[in-house]
Structure 1
Amino acid sequence: MKKLVKLFFAVVLTVGVSMGVNAQSLKIGHVDSGAIMEIMPERTKIEQDIQAYAAELQAELQAMYAEYQNKLQDYQANQATLSNLIRQSKEKEIVDLETRISEFQASADMAMQNKQLELLNPLIEKVQNAVNAVGKEKGFTYIFDKAAGAVVFIGDNAVDITADVKAKLGL
């Protein structure tokens, strides 16, 4: 039993010492990629393109909704005078148009997300490449991104490489 206790303490001591040595060789920094992306000149053009695409989708949706309103008002105004067959046909048209509007809205939301990713990915990749380059140049083991929300605490002695990344990007 005493040998087991001694072995346990020897293992704990060895692990503790090796962790201390490893922790001393770690170099950890952080960056705020969101702040960097906000000041990149490409960002303005990307935002304009996203807004233009959103306006295009919105115009199509409004046209569909206007058609729906017209058909609904026409149906409501003439409902009493319509034969059963024509009334059922108009009701089906209105229901089909409601379905098309709902489907278009869902696909437009997805298309909008895809467009944002398509336009923002090159910018994100550019920032990531600059972070990687600064990390290698300065010998960092880990770099956390404040914009990603994964950093829980940043101490006074933490190294902020945001300025270095901005310099690498020429900002």
Structure 2
Amino acid sequence: MKKFINAYFIAAALLLSATAVNAQQKIGHLNSQSVFTSMPEAKTISTTLESLQKTKQAEIEKLQSAYTLKYNAAVAKNKTLNEANKETVGKELQAMGVELDGLKKGIDQATENAQQVMAAKQGELMTPLQTKFITAVKAVAKEKGIAYVFDDNAQQSANNLLAYDDGIDLTAAVKAKLGIPAGAAAVPVKKS
């Protein structure tokens, strides 16, 4: 019985000490959007992506213009249709319809390709930036003895921090770790 009581007290002591250790862990938060938009690389990435988007948009507009020209030609050809030329004009209209279908598929394929290229380029450019950001967050958290860091950015309803009281705001410390001056202007984020 005495062993049972000793085991009980040891277990209780371990449980209480684990609870006390957990209660002492610090929690921090930061605004990732504020940090990302202040990083010098953000402007370069934004400019590169905008340029690529304009190039892809111009390619699609060129295809759409060709489609519009062919469509207008088909409409004009259809107006010349009468009983005398029904067979000849009908075949020409049918051929134009096949061309229009091909152009439409080309536009759809170019649009899909543009989206894939944009996503790949964004991933290529953002991955090193995200790695640099995470490394800085981890370093600041370790320096300040913080066990958990939450992002209080409410962008696109992805906020994982609903409320905090007396948490440590690490936004300025992470910016400093990344070498971003205190008053650095953020890169404007354009909504697509």
TM-score (norm 1): 0.84
Partner of 1:151: 161
Q: Give the paired residue count.
A: 163
Q: CA RMSD in A?
A: 2.4
Q: Which runs of 5+ in 2 are unaligned?
A: 1-8, 181-192
Mapped pair 1:53 → 2:63: no
Q: Identity, % of aligned pairs?
A: 31
Quote how far apart the aligned CAs of 1:85 are.
Answer: 2.7
Which of the two has greater helix per residue? 1
In the TM superposition, 1:18-167 aligns within 5 A as 20-79=19-78, 80=81, 82-147=88-153, 149-155=159-165, 157-167=166-176
Residue 18 of structure 1: CA displacement?
Answer: 5.0
Amino acid at match of 1:105: T
What are the Cα deviations for residues 32-82 of structure 1, in whole angstroms up to 9, with x where unaligned? 121011111111111110100000000000000000000000111012255
Deviations 1:131-155 (A, max 9, x none): 0111112221111122351111121
Which residue number corresponds to residue 168 of structure 1?
Answer: 177
1:16 positional shift: 7.1
- Unmatched 5+ stretches in structure 1: 1-9
Distance 2:167 2:67 in 1: 59
Relative to the length of structure 2, the TM-score reads 0.75
Distance 2:25 2:31 in 1: 20
